[in-house]
A and B are shown apart, each in its own frame.
Chain A
């Protein structure tokens, strides 16, 4: 069946521009997560949505980062006024509430 999909797969932007990254989770999964992975680094948690509960935003690195999840399905991660240190692979995952998370292929963001 279809897995987690993310778009775009690659994004190049100029410093100071805003970007939006999209995640389509697996149908029926109530939990959705965003992580990022900088070059050569491990995965860093950003934000977590579970059903209709308030999201866990504890991993967002600054107020330039925000995310929303509409209708309990698709999610958008927005980075405002991008900086070069925002360059990374942004990974989305979803979970069917049994503990394992299914990851998408990621969006590779490069800020020039």
Chain B
């Protein structure tokens, strides 16, 4: 079973920051938080991951709470091309093990 809880859908205005929440209250101390997204009719795409520190790359920022029980993916300036299903995933220390996907959050970017 997926170890994360995400809202089923969210809306965000184009050009604004999209903040996608994820709860992972049963995360273990050595498990990573990963985010992927799936644009319609495409395979999933890796976005970002972190262990305990906040992370930023060219696509997004990941904010992990101090107790590591929740995190937020931030898309700083959402565009219509960011419309997708976003998956928050908790992964074991063997980071090349299979991914257990939940239902994700369907993000709609509104023009």
Interfacial residues, chain A to chain B (CB-CB below 8 A): 4, 31, 33, 35, 42-45, 48, 50, 56, 59, 91, 93, 95, 97-106
Contact = CB atoms under 8 A, between A and B. Distances in A.
Contacts of B111: none
Interface residues of B, number: 21
Contact of B45 (A45, A50, A95, A103): A103
Given A42-B101, A45-B100, A100 B49 contact: yes
A100 B101 contact: no
A106 B49 contact: no
A106 B39 CA distance: 13
A99 B32 contact: yes
B29 to A, nearest CB: 17
B42 to A, nearest CB: 7
Contact of B97 (A4, A43, A48, A105): A48
A95 B96 contact: yes
B91 to A, nearest CB: 7
Contacts of A103: 43-45
B102 interface: yes
Interface string B62-86: 0000000000000000000000000
Given A33-B98, A59-B98, A95-B96, A102 B104 contact: no
Contacts of B42: 105-106
Given A31-B96, A48-B97, A95-B96, A101 B46 contact: yes
- SS of A interface (majority): strand
Contact of B98 (A48, A100, A102, A104): A48
B54 to A, nearest CB: 17
B93 to A, nearest CB: 10
Nearest to A56: B98
B43 A42 contact: no
